[in-house]
A and B are shown apart, each in its own frame.
Chain A
Amino acid sequence: MTSVSLKALACAALAAASIGAVQAQDSKVADELAKYREALADGNPADLLEAKGEGLWAEKRGPKNASLEQCDLGLGPGKLEGAYASLPKYFKDTGKVMDVESRLVHCMMTLQGLTYEQATKNWFSKPGTDSDIEALVTFIGAKSNGMKIDVPAKHPEEAKMAKMGEYIFYRRSGPQDFSCAICHGQEGKRIRLQDLGNLTTKEGAGTAMKTWPSYRVSQGAVWTMQRRLIDCMRQARFPEPKYLADSIVALETYLQKNATGTVMETPGIKR
């Protein structure tokens, strides 16, 4: 199914959900939203991006005319199965805790000879400009589909990163006094009609983390976890963190640690 017709279907489903909901009880509204999500899941545009990512992974590119096939995402060079589900983790060769995106950029620089600027120029797509990183991360993510998230953060550097992520999760500031915990620190709440997960629990963090990367219908694009969290900061009315900033990797480590044991279902599809 093309993304255009999928979008049309999604809009129709949403419209139907809206009309049906006007006089309905909350549970009815929730049912309609569930139907809407089901309709979306029928054909995920992210599948196309996954295929594109597979091609990019094997393609010889950059000044060194090399593929990414020898990229070590933490389980050994070229080992992709389960790699996404076990990131972020500490890497000896860089001395840093890295998430899938920072590690991928590292591989593009070291294996293919790209500069940091070249590798990250289009870290997210815009209308008319594709993002190789989005495609590659969708491909890498799908290689963990059906596997358990496994970020116990046992290495001291990983444990530290998870704690630092926890600090940022509770840190309040900005003109709305927000922190992540305001919306994502309690059970059974919603904002407008959107259910909010309690990201401090395994179940809540699992629901949030297991479906990324995810196709976002409202954005018409696949979003990576970096993109997702940087946008959380925007919604909290904070300034925008830099791509691959340590604080984003720290938040990811905290969330993946909480979500550990949850089974990956990616690429996802969301509102």
Chain B
Amino acid sequence: MTMKLKIALFSLLTVTASGVALAGKPVEPPGGKYAEEAEQMFRDSFREDAPREWKQRLVQDETMLTCGIYRDNPPRKIGQQLEKANMATIKYPASGKLMGNWKEGEKLAAVGTGGHIGFIQPDPPGRLKGGNCYACHQLAKKEVAYGTIGPTLQHFGKIRGNSPEMIKYAYDKIYNSNAFSACTNMPRFGLHGWLTPEQIADIVGFLMDPESPVNKD
């Protein structure tokens, strides 16, 4: 998206958000009247000699932009539009198999490294990027060092069963969390190519397979 278009979209959304405020909801977009200036200031904060792909990470898509403006709590109608747009991005493994190897999924769930850039402490090139699921979720019983930003997923498959519909839901949610709840804290692992469709299927296995420690223990 060009900068000009982004600013136009930005202004439009700002006006929309102010409209909501007038309708009675106490929503002021972060930054208030200085939001546009703050965006420019933020973009000017990075070294000119930074590789282009680094700067690409600062570009916001419509979901990011809108979520920021509403402090991650968009009005339902706007949330639904974002969910629809995000649902349309989901891609599946070539094999069509949405539930993979739970043992591989278990490894990925524990890996929190990868993807750090910069001049001070970057990850070495090619370092495995994991799902880092334990940062936010409780999963297997044996792992006590789990975070609480997301809900517990212990016994995920045991409670919900592993019908094709439930497997697809789990896959879709990991691929693009915003397809179900716009502006959720959870990253969109598939959309950004952080995890491959096959890796996502392996994590689905970790969540759903009756033999996985998520369900067995």
Which A residues lie at the B interface, using CB under 8 A? 21-22, 24, 26, 29, 124, 160, 163-164, 166-179, 181-183, 185-186, 188-194, 196, 230-231, 233-235, 237-242, 245-248, 250
Chain B residue numbers with a CB within 8 Å of A24 are 144
Total A-B Cβ pairs within 8 A: 159
Contact partner of B41 among A169, A188, A193, A250, CB < 8 A? A250
Knowing A231-B121, A237-B117 touch, does A168 contact B72 (C-beta < 8 A)? no
Which B residues lie at the A interface, using CB under 8 A? 30-35, 37-39, 41-42, 44-47, 50, 54-55, 57-60, 63-64, 67-68, 71-72, 112, 115-121, 134-136, 144-149, 178, 185-188, 192-194
Knowing A189-B147, A191-B147, A239-B58 touch, does A177 contact B45 (C-beta < 8 A)? no
- Provide 21 A-B residue pairs closer than 8 Å at the C-beta atoms, listed in order of the A residue: A160-B34, A164-B31, A164-B37, A171-B64, A173-B59, A173-B60, A175-B192, A177-B187, A181-B71, A189-B147, A189-B148, A189-B149, A191-B147, A196-B149, A231-B120, A237-B57, A238-B58, A238-B117, A245-B44, A247-B45, A250-B41
**Which DSSP category, helix, strand, loop or mixed, fits chain A's interface?**
mixed
- B57 with A239: CB separation less than 8 A: yes
Identify the interface centre among A191, A235, A242: most chain B CB within 10 Å of its CB: A191
Chain B residue numbers with a CB within 8 Å of A242 are 45-47
Chain B residue numbers with a CB within 8 Å of A193 are 144-145, 147
Contact partner of A175 among B33, B55, B115, CB < 8 A? B115
* A250–B72 CA distance with the chains assembled, in angstroms: 21
- B41 with A179: CB separation less than 8 A: no
Top 5 A-B pairs, shortest CB-CB distance: A167-B31, A240-B118, A245-B45, A167-B38, A164-B38
* A242–B41 CA distance with the chains assembled, in angstroms: 12
